[in-house]
Every structure is written in C-alpha cells, then in structure tokens.
Amino acid sequence: MCRRQSDPMPENTTSGHRDGPGTPWSPFRFPAFTVLWVATVISNIGTWMHDVGAGWLMTELSASPAIVAAVQAATTLPIFLFALLAGAVADIVDRRKLLLIANTFLSVVALLLAGIVYLGLMTPALLLIFTFAMGTGAAFMAPVWQAIVPKLIDPPHLGSAIALNSVGINVSRAIGPALAGVLIVGLGLASPFAVNAVSFLVIIAALFWWSPAPRAVQQVPAEQVLGAMRSGLKYTLNSKPMKATLIRAAAFFLFASAFWAMLPLIAKDVLTGGPGLYGLLLGSVGAGAVSGAFVLPAIKRMFGIGGTVFAGSVGTSLVLVILSLGSSQVLALAAAALAGLSWIAVLSSLHVAAQTALPDWVRARGLAVFLTVFFGSMSAGSVIWGQIATHTSIETALMLAAGGALVFALITLPVKLKTYSVEALAPSSHWPEPVLMAEDQIADGPVRIDVVYKVAVSEQGAFMAAMKDMRASRLRGGGYGWSLLRNAEGEDEFIESWFEPSWTDHMRHHSRVSEEDRQKQLQVAALHSGSQAPLVKHWVSGRR
C-alpha cells in the first residue's frame, strides 16, 4: 500500500534513505532500483535493435505502406488487448515470478525469429505473427514494471524514478537503433533479433538477484482475475485525475503514432536513405529525449504538467510538418531530436499523473488501463496513417497527422492534469468494523449499505454537491447501483444507498478507503445536523 511517513520502510529500500527528493539522480541511491534500471536499459537496447530490424525487414518483404505500418500496429495491439488482464494478474500474483516468465518467453520468441530470418524463410505474415507474440509478452510485463517502481524507492523519489525510467528508455533508443543499423549492414538482418534474445537474459539475471519483501498477509481472500479486472476499471473510470490523463493521452498518441509508423518509409522513400539512416533517425530521437530529461524539470516548473503535455504536442506537430517536406536528411535528424524531446515531455508527464493518481492496491490495473489507451491509440493511429499514406502519399499522411495533433492539443487543453501525494491515497483505516450476525448466517450474495443523513434546508445545496464526490468514492471502492433518496415525509432526511458484490468485497472496500476519501466523508458529515453520527446499516443475503 501507499505509505504514510509514520509507516515502516517500504520494500526494497535501504535504511537511511529517508531524505527528500534530492537531485533527479537520487533514485540511484537505492540498489534494487539501480540494478533493475541498468538491466532494463541493456534489455531495451536489444528491443530497439529488434524494432529497427523488424521495421526494415518488412520494407524488404513488402513495399506497401499499409503493411509496413502494420508492424507498429502488431507491436502495440497486444498491449491494447491484454494490458488490463496483465494488470489484474500483476495485482494478484507474485510480480517477480510474472516478470521472470514473461522475459523467458520473449527470449525464446526472439531466438526463433532470428533463426527463421537467418534461414531466409521469413514472410510478411510470419513477421507480423512474431511481432504480435513479442508484443503479447511486453503486454504482460509493462504494467508490472510500472507497478513495482514505488516498491524500489522511498515515496519522495517517485517522480525522479519515473523520469529516470524514461531516460533509460531513451538512452537505449539512442544506442540500439544505431547499433542495429551497423549490425544489419555488417552481419545481416538476423543479427538484431539474436542480440535481443540474449538481452532478455540480463533482465532474468537481475530478477533472480532481486529479493523483494513478501507481500503483507491479506485479511480477506485474494480477488479472482475477472473481479480484479472489473474493480480496476471501476476505480479508473471513477477517478477524475485518471480520466483526465486518459483523455490527454488519447488526444496525443493517436496523432503521434504517425511518426513511429511512417519513420521506416520516411527514411527509405522520402529521404532516399538506407538502414543506416533509419538507425540514425531513431538514435537522434533517443538523443533528443535524453537531453530533454535535463530541461524537463525547468519546463514543468514553468508550464505545469498540463502545459508540458501541450508543449510536447505542439513540438510533435512541428516535427511531422518538417518530415512531410522532406527537404534534407540533416533537417530530418534535427526534427527527430525534437521528436524525442517532445515525446519524453508528454510521456513522462502522463506517467507521473497516472502513477500518483493510483493507490497501490489498484496500481497495476490502473496503469494497465493507461497503457491500453496509450497503445490502443498508437495501434489505431498506425493503421489509419498507413491507409492514408497508401491511398494518398506519405507526405499527406504526415501533414494531416500534424494538423490533428495541434487541433486536439488545443481542444483538450482545458482538461486539467492533477497529481496526488502518497499520503492522500494511503489507506485511512477509519471505517469501524461492522457488528454482524454470525458469519455462517451470511449468504454469498450482494450487500447493500445504507447511510441516513439529516441535513438542514440551508445546507442542502452544499450537501448535494458534496455527494457527487461521495458517489465517485463509493464506486471507486467497488460499489454499484449508488443512489441518493430524500424522505418524502421529512424534508431534512436523506438516505444514501449502494451495493457491493459480496461481504468479502465490502471488507476489501474497508481496507481501501483512502485519506482523500476520509476528507470527503468528513465534509459530508459536517453537514449532517443529527445529534449523532449518520446511521449506517448493512443488508445482506441471509442463509436459511
């Protein structure tokens, strides 16, 4: 769970690191974070080499822009399809074991792909199948990696840790593509896939080294996968900051996907280059992103998190315009660096907004919903821009994407992004345990909770406004069928009702009520005019 300052040290931190956020590099004080970060960078270098190899291999197998863009879609579609399932699993099972299984699967798939390419047996359809399989493994890893970050450091360092993860991705992006271009020219197209297969072994070794503390013993039975998926969706869709994050993400990634989907064809057809130029373009993206990490703190202080997302969207629109003109390779490399800076500005800001909007019990599922929107927008955009380029031209597709990115950045600018402190989402544990009949008299069925309020007529406007937030709070905790009714025979009496699937689910709700929820409940309780606290009743299905 998210930790208050008085709670014990979180998992995988070393004693003595109770200081404030410090420098952007302060997460490296924590050995577990450092080892996993380095291993991830090495593995990501292999992944970027793989992506360059797959993108360029498809240009050799097919000249159709739609087929080439389908490589990007096949990479991102599995995360759209499976991220929520993966997030639910990650919130239930041992996250370390799940990461070990996923990385082993990816290593085997990459090795098989290298062998088929080396033997000259690859076809466009087979490449898309292998790409989809790699994307599926990544789908089961992504929410887990995101969810374990707060367990590797102290809470004040979370923002820096997320930024460093983005830096790590872009360091690998700066190295991997350029190295892939050299290997493809020198050793052939099979070499990037073989190196990628080996790179997963580094992650596996780091995971074997890592010894996370065991999870706390739960007072209620673990959730089932389908129920966990449902509760993750309910929380996310009833969280204002998460909904704002998802809206801003969809508005950006749908149009930014044109850059990634079209980049192999930009290098080959628009700029008349080879795999070396493609690798340099991706390397320039990585270099721009890494350099952006040094200026982002100042940008965020100046514009705020929402303004930073807007600035990154404008930068991406400018990049797409420059590339559509195709005037020179040098200008294209400069535009690619701007693309990297814009990308990290948007992505890191949205990740911070999502991470800080989620308590620990639902973090992997909530981040999975974010990743679903992220990669769903990327997949849909890749298909859309590929089709437009096929029926018109690459330059036309880029120009349309540039216009769309700018228009939607302006439309969604009023949607405010918000970040929360760790304390706000920490469990408050303030709900008293209900006094029950014998538990063997409670059937495994729905539970209804009623809360009776008395509110003076003069306070009822404020009460009704506060109950809107209360409704969202009840639904985030797993409730459904929420209602607020007024007593027709007494104008000062109201009854709030909602249902939960079972008594076990209601007990989970008890453990999940946050400090932010408690503050909202105190606001409502202050408007209650009765001599005692609001009356709470639980209605259960009884056994015969």
Q: Which CATH number characterizes residue 47's domain?
A: 1.20.1250.20
404 and 443 in one domain? no
Q: How many residues does the chain have?
A: 544
Provide DSSP, 13-64: --TT--S---STTGGGGSHHHHHHHHHHHHHHHHHHHHHHHHHHHHHHH---
The Cα-based distances of 100 to 59, 214, 360 in angstroms read 33, 17, 21
- pLDDT for 3 equals 30
CA dihedral 397, 402, 403, 406 (to 10 degrees): 160
Is 16 inside any structural domain? no
313 and 343 in one domain? yes
Spell out where 261-353 has E strands: none
Report the interhelical angle of 275-325 vs 329-356 (nearest 10°): 90
Is 19 inside any structural domain? no
127 and 271 in one domain? yes
3-class secondary structure for 336-358?
A: HHHHHHHHHHHHHHHHHHHHHCC
- Residues 65-77 pLDDT 10s: 777 777 777 877 8
- pLDDT for 107 equals 93
- pLDDT for 443 equals 61
Question: What is the C-alpha separation between 320 and 311, in angstroms, rounded?
Answer: 15
| 444 close to 527: Cβ distance less than 8 angstroms | no
Nearest to 151 by CA among 199, 106, 216, 202: 216
492 and 395 in one domain? no
Is 108 inside any structural domain? yes
366 and 491 in one domain? no
- pLDDT for 388 equals 92
Q: Which residue has 């360091």 as its token pair?
A: 171
Ramachandran angles phi, psi of 501, nearest 5°: -60, -35
| 306 close to 244: Cβ distance less than 8 angstroms | no
- pLDDT for 542 equals 62
448 and 366 in one domain? no
Return the number of other C-beta atoms located less than 10 Å from residue 210's C-beta.
17
Question: What is the C-alpha separation between 354 and 247, in angstroms, rounded?
Answer: 12
From 423, 448, 480, the end of a domain falls on 423
Q: Which residue has 């070396």 as its token pair?
A: 276
Q: Which residue has 């000062």 as its token pair?
A: 492
Report the interhelical angle of 363-391 vs 65-92 (nearest 10°): 170
Q: Is the dihedral of CA 173, 174, 180, 183 positive or negative?
A: negative
| 248 close to 412: Cβ distance less than 8 angstroms | yes
432 and 373 in one domain? no
Ramachandran angles phi, psi of 216, nearest 5°: -65, 145
The amino acid at 473: S
Is 458 inside any structural domain? yes
Is 518 inside any structural domain? yes
The Cα-based distances of 129 to 16, 164, 378, 485 in angstroms read 49, 32, 18, 54
Return the number of other C-beta atoms located less than 10 Å from residue 483's C-beta.
10
Question: What is the C-alpha separation between 229 and 1, in angstroms, rounded?
Answer: 18
From 374, 393, 423, the end of a domain falls on 423
| 57 close to 120: Cβ distance less than 8 angstroms | no
| 21 close to 160: Cβ distance less than 8 angstroms | yes
The Cα-based distances of 318 to 285, 350, 404 in angstroms read 14, 20, 12
Structure-block tokens of residue 253: 């990634």
247 and 313 in one domain? yes
The secondary element (H helix, E strand) that includes residue 268 is: none
Rounded to two decimals, the pTM is: 0.76
Ramachandran angles phi, psi of 480, nearest 5°: -150, 165
130 and 94 in one domain? yes
Provide the 8-state DSSP code for 215: P
| 278 close to 268: Cβ distance less than 8 angstroms | yes
Report the interhelical angle of 329-356 vs 158-187 (nearest 10°): 140
- pLDDT for 220 equals 64
Is 484 inside any structural domain? yes
3-class secondary structure for 148-185?
A: HHHHHCCHHHHHHHHHHHHHHHHHHHHHHHHHHHHHHH
From 407, 423, 439, the end of a domain falls on 423
309 and 454 in one domain? no
The Cα-based distances of 218 to 299, 418, 507 in angstroms read 42, 31, 11
- pLDDT for 7 equals 29
147 and 203 in one domain? yes
Q: Which CATH number characterizes residue 468's domain?
A: 3.30.70.100
245 and 184 in one domain? yes
What is the mean pLDDT for each group of 10 consecutive residues in the chain (544 residues)? 30 38 73 90 87 81 75 78 84 84 92 90 87 87 80 74 76 77 83 91 91 66 79 89 94 93 86 81 81 78 89 95 87 92 88 85 87 85 88 92 95 87 74 67 79 91 92 90 89 91 86 87 87 85 60
Is 21 inside any structural domain? no
The amino acid at 45: I
Q: Which residues are within 8 A (CB) of 317 and not within 5 positions of it... i.e. 6 or more apart?
A: 255, 402, 403, 405, 406, 409
The amino acid at 321: V
- pLDDT for 437 equals 58
Is 91 inside any structural domain? yes
Provide the 8-state DSSP code for 216: P
Give the chain's domain count.
2
Structure-block tokens of residue 271: 């700029």
Ramachandran angles phi, psi of 412, nearest 5°: -90, 0
The range of the structural domain enclosing residue 102 comes to 27-423
